[in-house]
Amino acid sequence: MKVLVVGSGGREHALVWKLARSPRVNRLYCAPGNAGTAGLAENVELKAGDVPGLVRFAKQEKIGLVVIGPEEPLCLGLTDELATAGIRAFGPSKAAARLEGDKAFAKHLMQQSSVPTADARIFDKFRDAKTYIASREAGVVVKAAGLAAGKGVIVCDDPADAIMALERIMVHREFGPAGDRVLVEEKLVGTEVSVLAFVDEHTIYLMENTQDHKAAGEGDTGPNTGGMGAYSPTPVPDERTIHQIESEILVPIIDALHTDGVSYCGILYAGLMLTAGGPKVLEFNCRFGDPETQPLLMRLRTDLLDVIEAVQANRLDQITLDWDPRPAMCVVMSSGGYPGPYEVGKEITGLESAATVEDTVVFHAGTRQAGQRILTAGGRVLGVTAMGDTLQAARDRCYQAVDRIQFDGAYCRRDIGAKALAPTR
């Protein structure tokens, strides 16, 4: 089968890496891909948001399956357009992807279906939002309602900070049209976790637990990013809480979409805060998370193509996911300054040495090839991912590989997974 993966980040490199291991995949393409995907697939010079171009290419090359990585093409309706052209795609429809693409819509849907989430107000005028924030006494979270590449969420410790965040979003237009509307939410306190599930029209099948590290700085300080590292499995949530998440969050939100006539098939990602009052939703995503995908797919033993086809055929209940019991961890190496302004075009060295660390894969994210050299081409540059018999062993391998890689301005958090290890030290 010919398979096309859409996207250019670490998540897409991990998807290509995993699909390349399927005996039924005989040719792989990635659009637009990166320097890492080029070693496993044929990169195609088409942007992820170029829906007509991607449909045209898939028809021309007789692609059997398109796996959509990022949120933009999902929200633009790539799945729908491919279906119209008679091409199978893995990812929810445009209507279903509103759950990620429109935070105001998602918040309304959660409130209507009694899904536990942070209290929030929605504003489309700067003046009204500013007045509301000024009336608050505690910190809040200010969110751009539209797609902002994982960076449109600003956690504020006090109302003054929140007003400055509001100015960044609605006045200075830091996130473009995504900031036309904002959500002002209560600031939840607890442990943040990611729960991902495969979903077809009848079944929700949860994957293993993962935990992302959103903040740029160690100790969960600094601005939010697309994710600076992740590991799986996690010590929390426990089995009882997992059942609660499934029954009180995932099932009701899928049912609410079905009630509105929207069928959901693909990946459902719930970013959650485990608060003293139980799990509450921070956000929903309609695709694999990045960097959660990297450790998850390293641990998944089941052929990913088999799982995808089970979702598409509505027979997910007939599949059993087989997971390697060993923990896996991903450490993101970013360009200096990310998620703020950063420079690109820096040469990366040490990749071959890092790849020799046992049970380690270096997934590329923001990279490009220039002749024999590999250069930085984005904020998050690499996702160094390793497995080990223990989380500490996986962590040691990650940082051993990280220390072999060099590029000007390279930065990574040195505390990925530290909280999970603290009780055992």
Q: Tokens for 100?
A: 């990620």
Q: How far is 383 from 370, CA to CA, in rounded Å?
A: 20
Distance separating alpha carbons of residues 325 and 360, to the nearest angstrom: 16
Rounded average pLDDT over 348-362 = 98
Residues 6+ apart with CB under 8 A from 240: none
User: pLDDT tens for residues 339-350?
Assistant: 999 999 999 999
Burial class of 389 by CB neighbour count within 10 A (0 to 12, 13 to 18, 19+): exposed
Phi-psi region of 350 (alpha: psi -120 to 50; beta: other; left: phi over 0): left
Phi, psi of 355 (to 5 degrees): -70, -15
Angle of CA points 356, 362, 363, to nearest 5°: 155
Q: What's the fold here for domain 328-424?
A: Glycinamide Ribonucleotide Synthetase; Chain A, domain 4 (3.90.600)
Percentage above 70 pLDDT, the chain: 99
- Give the residue from 121, 147, 89, 380 showing the smallest Cα distance to 283: 147
CATH 3.30.470.20 domain locations along the chain: 191-318
DSSP character at residue 339: T
Confidence of residue 320 (pLDDT cuts 50, 70, 90): very high
* pLDDT above 70 for 234: yes
State yes or no: cis peptide before 279, omega within 30 of 0.
no
Lowest-confidence segment of 134-138, 206-210, 241-245, 410-414 by average pLDDT:
134-138
Amino acid 124: pLDDT = 95
Q: What is the rounded distance in angstroms from the CA atom of residue 129 to the CA atom of residue 143?
A: 12
Q: Cβ contacts of residue 128 below 8 Å, gap of 6+?
A: none
Question: What is the distance between the alpha carbons of residues 186 and 148, in angstroms, rounded to a whole number?
Answer: 20
Query: Residues with Cβ < 8 Å from 4, sequence gap 6 or more?
Result: 28, 29, 30, 31, 44, 54, 57, 58, 61, 63, 65, 66, 67
Burial class (CB in 10 A: 0-12, 13-18, 19+), 417: buried
What is the Cα 269 distance to its own chain's centre?
Answer: 8
- Please state, in angstroms and rounded to a whole number, the distance separating the CA atoms of residues 407 and 410: 6
| pLDDT tens string 49-61 | 999 999 999 999 9
Angle (CA) 404-410-413 rounded to 5° is: 85
- Listed residue (212, 263, 211) closest to 99, CA to CA: 263
Please say whether the structural domain 2-94 has been given the CATH code 3.40.50.920.
Answer: no
Q: What percent of the chain has pLDDT over 90?
A: 96
Amino acid identity at 156: C
Q: Can you tell me the mean pLDDT for 124-136?
A: 96
Distance CA 371, CA 25 (A): 28
- 305-316 tens-digit pLDDT: 999 999 999 999
Q: What does the mean pLDDT of the chain come to? A: 96
Task: Give residue 149's pLDDT band: very low, low, confident or very high (50, 70, 90).
Answer: confident
DSSP 340: S
* From-to residues of CATH 3.40.50.20 in the chain: 2-94
pLDDT for position 36: 98
Specify the pLDDT at position 423.
60
Per-residue model confidence as pLDDT tens digits over 69-104: 999 999 999 999 999 999 999 999 999 999 999 999
Query: Which pLDDT value is given to residue 247?
Result: 97
Domain with CATH 3.90.600.10 in the chain: 328-424
Contact 196, 212 (CB under 8 A): no
Which pLDDT tens digit goes with each residue over 9-45? 999 999 999 999 999 999 999 999 999 999 999 999 9
pLDDT of residue 425: 40
Task: Give the integer Cα–Cα distance in Å for 410 and 337.
Answer: 9
The highest-level CATH class for domain 191-318 is alpha beta
